[in-house]
Amino acid sequence: MEPTLREFSYQNWITAVIIGALVLLAFIKTLYHAQFTDFVKINSAERYINTRTKSSFFFSPIQLVLFFLQCIGIALLFYASYCVLQKISLKENYLIFIIIFSGYFLFEIIKIVIEQIIGYTLLIYRKMSSFVYKRFNIKNVLGLLGLFFTIIITYQTDIPDFFIFGSITIIVSFYILSQVWLLKKYSKEFIKFPLYFILYFCTLEIAPYYILYKFIING
């Protein structure tokens, strides 16, 4: 199959969103080069927390922008995949994207707030901040990966369904494997703070996705 480019249009809102996201990414990479390097090297979480932030890392400018890009990337991927699978126009259904983006954004904000409350209530937020930082930035990486897949889906015609399902499978698999890696890496901390583990794993990783699953199944 010889790939052919979709018709490019400056009036295409999805093009504007993608270009805007790439410009933002280039901007923070240039303006916050050292912090961006720490973001790419997820294992440098301890150095970032100890030397680059005095409060919650989430409220640093680079993390706020990366979180926004995460929401954009994931929402665009699901939106583009939905449109292609349903054989509908990507340009004319922006309200669907707004709904997906808003839903994902609120979903993640609620999880972040609950996570902050649990950490501060149990007085162990600072001790678990490295774990939280790595988990948060893994999702930011997945958001950028989602943006990459979206670009391919958007600007290529005759995208086979297996590419779309494969892209989503890659992101979901990477997320699951990363969670297993983090649980193994911080197993000693979870043993020291079993209540945090129970609240984190059940409240933030099982319950939200179970509720989302039931919502989708029940329509």
Provide the percentage of residues in the chain whose pLDDT is more than 90. 27
Rounded to two decimals, what is the model's pTM?
A: 0.81
Range from 86-100, 116-130, 143-157 carrying the lowest mean pLDDT: 116-130
Which helix or strand (DSSP H or E) is residue 41 part of?
A: none
pLDDT for position 42: 64
Range from 30-39, 165-174, 184-193, 210-219 carrying the lowest mean pLDDT: 210-219
Confidence band, pLDDT 50/70/90 cuts, at residue 38: confident
pLDDT tens-digit readout, 134-154: 888 889 999 999 999 999 998
pLDDT for position 9: 47
Cα–Cα distance between 124 and 122 in angstroms, integer?
6
Domains of the chain, residue spans? 13-217
Cα–Cα distance between 186 and 201 in angstroms, integer?
13
Average pLDDT over residues 5-19: 70
Cα–Cα distance between 147 and 74 in angstroms, integer?
7
Radius of gyration of the chain (CA): 19
Is residue 190 scored above 90 in pLDDT?
A: no
User: What is the sign, positive or negative, of the torsion defined by CA atoms of 190, 195, 200, 201?
Assistant: positive
Is residue 116 scored above 50 in pLDDT?
A: yes
pLDDT tens-digit readout, 196-213: 777 776 666 666 666 665
Is residue 10 scored above 50 in pLDDT?
A: no
pLDDT for position 213: 58
Which helix or strand (DSSP H or E) is residue 21 part of?
A: helix 13-31
Give start and end residues of each alpha helix (H) in 87-205: 94-121, 129-155, 161-185, 187-192, 194-199
pLDDT for position 11: 42
pLDDT tens-digit readout, 166-186: 999 999 899 888 888 888 888
Confidence band, pLDDT 50/70/90 cuts, at residue 53: low
